[in-house]
Structure 1
Amino acid sequence: MILSPTLQQMPPIQDKTFYRAAVIEAPGKVSVQNLDLPEPGADEVRIKIEGCGICASNIPVWEGRDWFEYPVSPGNPGHEAWGIIDAVGENVDNLTPGERVAGLSYNAYATHDIAKAKDLVVLPDFFDNKPFPGEPLGCAMNIFSRSDIQEGQTVAIVGSGFLGLLLTQLAKSAGAKVIALSRREFSLKAAKEAGADEIITLDDHYQIIEKVKQLTEGRFCERVIEATGKEWPLNLSIELTAERGKLIVAGFHQDGMRNINVQMLNWRGIDMISAHERDSSKYIKGIKAAIDAIEKHEMDPYPFFTHGFSLDEMEDAYKHLTERPDGFIKGLIINNQ
C-alpha cells in the first residue's frame, strides 16, 4: 500500500502476554508468529513498536546465502524501529513508560522489541504521529558529517535511493552544487525534486565521465558519495572525483570482494572514506543530528516514505525491496494494533 506521511494515533498500550513477530523461515518465506512477550533486562527497555523501516541490507538474508541459518531470530533483521516504551528494566532511570523513542534494536519486525536504554533517543513533540526510522536517518547524518561538504563545492551522489536523496538535501542545505546519478528514471525525478542541480542516468561509463567533466569544466567533483553498494558505480565514483577530492563510500558492499581502480585513486590523490559506523554511540549522535536537521528543514525524509506494509505483508515488503518497482523509495512496516 502507499504510505501516508503521517500516522494514525496508536491505540492505548494494553497488557498482553504475547507479541507478534515476522520470522524468515527459509529464503523467500516468512511467517508471523505469536510468541511470549519478552521482559527487559538490566539497562534495557521494551518498546511497543509503531513501525520499522525496511533496509536493503536485509536482501541477502531474505534471498538466502550459504552462511545464513534458518529460521532466523523472530523480528530479525528489522533494525529501524520507533515506538513507545511500555516496560523498563533495572537501572534505567533516564526513560519511562509512555515515552516515544527511536534508536537501535535488532528484532524489530514485530509488535515489540528489546533495546538498550543507551541506544534510544526520545522523540520531540514535533514528530508526533509521524514515522521516524532513526537508524537510517542517523546513518545519513553520519555520512554527511564524514563527507565534509562545503559551500560552493560540486558533489556527485551516485545512487538516488533513500540514502542518496537525503544526502542530496543535506548537500544542498550546505550550499553545494549536486549532480545526482541513478539508473532509474523515477529516482532521477525524485533527486531533482530533492534539489539536485543536474541529473545523469547511470548507463554508459565513459559518457557519464564526459558529462561530469563538462559540467565541472574538467575539474570533476570535490566530493563524490557512492550510495549503491555495487562495484561498477564504485569505480565510476573514483573517476568522478577531483584531484585531492574525497570519495565517500556510503553503499553497503556486502556481497563479496571488490576490484577497484587504485591507480586512479593514487594518481589523483583521492581520500577514500568508508562512512559506515559500528559504534552505537555514533549512531545515537547521528539520530540526534537527524532530529535537529529535520526540525531546521535541512532534511525532509517524509516524501521518500512511499510504501507501508503490515507484518502480515512482509513477503510483499521484501519483494518491493528487491524488485524496486517504479514509485518505490522507502518502505515501512506499520503496526496498527
Structure 2
Amino acid sequence: MEAVMKAAVLVAPGRMEVHDVAMPQPAAGEVRIRLEGCGVCASNIEPWEGRAWSTFPGAPGGMGHEGWGVVDALGVGVTAVAPGQRVTLLGGNGFAEYDVARADQVVALPEALAGRAVPGEPVACAMNIFRRSDLRAGQTVAIVGIGFLGAILTKLASDAGARVIAISRRAESLALATRFGAAETVAMDDHWAIIERVTAMTGEAMCERVIEAVGKQWPLDLASALVGFGGRLVIAGYHQDGARQVNMQDWNWKGIDVVNAHERDPRAAMRGLEEAVAAVAAGRIDLDALVTHRFPLERVGEAIAATRDKPEGFVKAVVTYA
C-alpha cells in the first residue's frame, strides 16, 4: 500500500482542509523530513485570503516554507546527512507531516536546540536582510514594522553598534523592540508626526539606514521619508498585494540607495540559514520569545488568520505536528 500522510490543502479563499495524501518520496540528492512543525509567514495571508492569481485547490502542504524536523529518508547519492538527524530546511510544502528538500538545503540543528521550535527560514531572511543593509556601528537605523522580522533586525542592528529607532503600531511591539535593543521607539500612528519626531531625534540628519519590514504602501512611504541624504532604504517587507508608487523626486534629491533585501540565490539563502542556526544556538537571538502561538495542523487556517489579525501578545505562529 502507498504510504500516506496528513497535509493541509487550500481549497477555497480562507478555507484549509486536512487531507490524506501520498507521502512524498525523495528523489536523487533529496532528503525527506518528518516535520515537527512549520512557521506561518505573512506571505501566506494573501493566497489564503484569495487573490486573482490564487489557484484552488493548492498543493498539499503548500505555502509552508518554514519547517523543521527529523530526516526520515534519503534519496540516491545523499551522504551529508543521516536518518534521525534533526534539521531545519528550505522547503515549500511544510503544512504537512512530511516534506522533501535538496540535501544541500537543510542545516543540522545542534544539541543546544533540542526540543525547541526552530523555523529557521525566516531567521535566515533576517540575517540576509541585515547583510544587505550594510549597516555600520554608530549609524542611526529606523526599522519600520516590529514583528518577528523587525525584532530580530533590531537585535542584529543594536548588537552591531547602531542606534535603532523602532516604529510600529502596537505598544507591545514597541516594548518588544526595546527588549531587543532599540534605543528609541515611535508609535506608528501619524505620518507627519513620526517624521517630525525622527527629525528631532536625529538633529535633522534623519537616518543612514531605514528598513521597511511591513510590505504595505504607507510604511514604504514613511520609510522613504526617514532616509537621510546619501542613506540607504532597505525594502524587507514582502509586497505581494499590488503595485507600489514611490517618491522618485525625493529619492533622486537625497541621492539614496534602494535595496531589495529579498534573496533568490539558493547559496545566499543557505548562508543565511547556517548563520541563523548558529545565532539561535549561541543565544544571540531569543527565538523562544518570538514564537508566541502554536496551532495543530487542523487549525492552520486559524494560524494564518492570527498572523493577519495579530491578537494580543502575538509575534509568530507555528503549526506543530504530534
Please say if residues 9 and 61 of structure 2, whose CA atoms lie closer than 8 Å, have aligned partners that are also in contact. Answer: yes
Q: Given residue 238 of structure 2, which amino acid in structure 1 is its aligned partner?
A: F
**One-letter amino acid of the structure 1 residue matched with residue 239 of structure 2:** H
Contact 2:67/2:94 (CA < 8 Å) preserved in 1? yes
Gaps of 5+ in 2: none
Matched, 1:300 2:286: yes
Partner of 1:85: 71
What is the CA–CA distance in structure 2 between the aligned matches of 1:307 and 1:263, rounded to whole Å?
43
Q: State the number of aligned residues.
A: 322
In 2: Cα distance, 1:173 partner to 1:295 partner? 16
Q: Is the 8 A contact 1:19 1:37 kept in 2?
A: yes
Structure 2: how far apart are the matches of 1:175 and 1:153?
A: 8
Which whole-Å CA distance do the structure 2 matches of 1:263 and 1:296 have between them? 44
Where does residue 75 of structure 1 map in the other structure? 61
Q: CA deviation at 1:317?
A: 0.9
Helix, strand or coil for the counterpart of 1:299? coil
Aligned partners of 1:221 and 1:245 also within 8 Å: yes
Q: Secondary structure at the match of 1:332?
A: strand
**1:183 aligned onto 2:173:** no
- Aligned pairs for 1:127-166 (under 5 A) are 127-166=113-152
Contact 1:78 1:108 in 2 (8 A): yes
* Residues 59-99 of structure 1: CA deviation (Å, up to 9, x unaligned): 11110011121010000010000000010010111111011
**Structure 1 residue aligned with 2:52, among 66, 76, 85?**
66
Matched with 2:224 is 238
Conserved 8 A contact 2:128-2:272:
yes
* Counterpart among 92, 102, 108 of residue 122 in structure 1: 108
Q: 1:173 aligns with which of 159, 166, 175?
A: 159
Whole-Å separation in 2 of the counterparts to 1:334 and 1:295: 20
With structure 1 as the length reference, what TM-score do the two structures score? 0.93
Task: Show the counterpart of 2:233.
Answer: 247
Aligned counterpart in structure 1 of residue 272 of structure 2, from 280, 286, 290? 286
Query: What secondary structure does 1:22 align onto?
Result: strand
Residue in structure 2 matched with residue 334 of structure 1 by the alignment: 320
Query: Displacement, 1:148?
Result: 1.2
Paired residue for 1:262? 248
Q: Is the 8 A contact 1:186 1:327 kept in 2?
A: yes
- Give the distance between the partners of 2:81 and 2:37, measured in 1 at CA: 20
Structure 1: unaligned runs, 5 residues or longer? 1-15
2:96 is the counterpart of 1:103: no
Structure 2: distance between partners of 1:100 and 1:111: 15
RMSD across aligned positions (CA)? 1.3
Report the CA distance between 1:121 and its aligned residue: 0.8
The CA distance in 1 between the partners of 2:286 and 2:304, in whole Å, is: 24
* 1-structure distance, mates of 2:305, 2:95: 15
Residue number in structure 2 paired with 1:31: 17
Question: Does the CA-based 8 Å contact 1:305-1:329 persist in structure 2?
Answer: yes
> SS of 1:256's equivalent?
coil
Q: In 1, distance between residues paired with 2:25 and 2:196?
A: 58
Contact 1:152 1:175 in 2 (8 A): yes
Q: Render the CA deviation track for 1:114-149: whole Å, top value 9, x for unaligned.
A: 111111111111111111111101000000011111
Equivalent residue number for residue 179 of structure 2: 193
| 1:170-208 deviation per Cα after TM superposition (whole angstroms, max 9, x unaligned) | 011101111000111221121111111111111111111
Q: Report the alpha carbon displacement of residue 296 of structure 1 after superposing the two structures with TM.
A: 3.8
1:112 maps to which residue?
Answer: 98
| Counterpart contact for 1:103–1:284, Cα < 8 Å | no
Tell me the distance in 2 between the aligned counterparts of 1:184 and 1:203. Answer: 9
Which of 188, 193, 209 is the matching residue for 1:223? 209
Alpha-carbon distance between aligned partners in 2 of 1:94 and 1:41, rounded to the nearest angstrom: 15
SS at match of 1:57: helix
Q: 1:51 and 1:288 mapped to 2: Cα distance?
A: 19
3-state SS, counterpart of residue 218 of structure 1: coil
Aligned twin of 2:302: 316
